[in-house]
Amino acid sequence: MKYVTLNNGVKMPILGLGTFRSKDEDAYNATLHALKCGYRHIDTAWIYGNEKAVGKAIKDSGLNREDLFITTKLWNTHQGYESALKAMEESLDNLGLDYIDLYLIHWHKSYEKSIESYRALVKLYKDKKTRAIGVSNFNIHHLMNIVDNFDIAPMVNQVETHIELQNHILNDYCTENKIQLEAYAPLMSQDISKLLNNEVMIKIAAKHKKSVPQIAIKWLIERNIVVIPKSINNSRIESNFDVFDFNLSEEDMLEIRKLNKGNKIFPEFDNVEF
């Protein structure tokens, strides 16, 4: 496993399991199977409704807590100072954990809400309820609001990133400000057929004797971007993790770069109505 080091020195596995739309038994089985296969990083969120199932799988895995990296997220309706502090307690209780590894503001709602919520995250970080804090669905202008107002910069920004939405400029800004970019929907989520049928990706996958999803995941790892593909299927959980025995060439990377279209599957961050 490859790790990235966050701006506070915490090490984060570059590859983890996503759990969006994984419900109850599926979330439990997928998390447990992933942990058996060698995953040490699980991404959940209060709004996914599966924190309890993920927490039970963590417990049943028998792994040492300090070897795991668990992310959860502050939901939009819980934004604000006091409500964020309370929301963290609920997530910890759901997960059955004393602390989490990364707590993210799930979506930008307003500049004011971001400030209030981030103030709570800083307190939670200082109180050691979470080893790292960050944001999700933030563009450069949303990040600047935090960077300009706090001594502690976000450690991570989790955003939709895949072959059709490559986020080069956002990633450059994040790198300059020591904010780790993390890719959600790396397999294009519900539009995965666009990825699986992409001819350039099919050609590169055949060359490396790998699958298209494996190339999509490795391309992000080569860019030093944390990646959290979701699956509830055991063999796909395994194959998504089997990406450390080959490297993409510079030519492969350039070919994939040309696939960027700025195509978003999830809402534009300034337009969320939930």
Site residues (vs ligand NAP, CB under 6 A): 18-20, 43, 106, 136-137, 158, 184-189, 192, 213, 228-233, 236, 239-240, 266
By C-beta, is 85 or 220 nearer to ligand NAP? Answer: 220
Rounded to a whole number of angstroms, the minimum distance from the CB of residue 170 to ligand NAP is: 14
d(CA 105, CA 46): 11
Rounded to a whole number of angstroms, the minimum distance from the CB of residue 161 to ligand NAP is: 10
Instruction: Label the pairing between strands 41-43 and 180-184.
Output: unpaired
DSSP secondary structure of 71-115: EEEE-GGG-SHHHHHHHHHHHHHHHT-S-BSEEEE-S---HHHHH
Rounded to a whole number of angstroms, the minimum distance from the CB of residue 191 to ligand NAP is: 9
Residue 48 a catalytic site member: yes
Rounded to a whole number of angstroms, the minimum distance from the CB of residue 183 to ligand NAP is: 8
By C-beta, is 82 or 270 nearer to ligand NAP? Answer: 270
Catalytic residue among 28, 48, 118, 173: 48
By C-beta, is 126 or 244 nearer to ligand NAP? Answer: 244
Contact 180/226 with Cβ under 8 angstroms? Answer: yes
By C-beta, is 235 or 251 nearer to ligand NAP? Answer: 235
d(CA 109, CA 194): 30
- The residue with tokens 């060359």 is 207
- The candidate with the shortest Cα–Cα distance to 12, out of 78, 93, 67, is 67
- The residue with tokens 């807590």 is 65
d(CA 131, CA 75): 19
By C-beta, is 26 or 116 nearer to ligand NAP? Answer: 26
Q: Give the alpha-carbon dihedral of 238, 240, 246, 249, to 10 degrees.
A: 170
Structure tokens given for 134: 């960050």
d(CA 201, CA 148): 40
Rounded to a whole number of angstroms, the minimum distance from the CB of residue 68 to ligand NAP is: 15
* Catalytically active residues, by annotation: 48
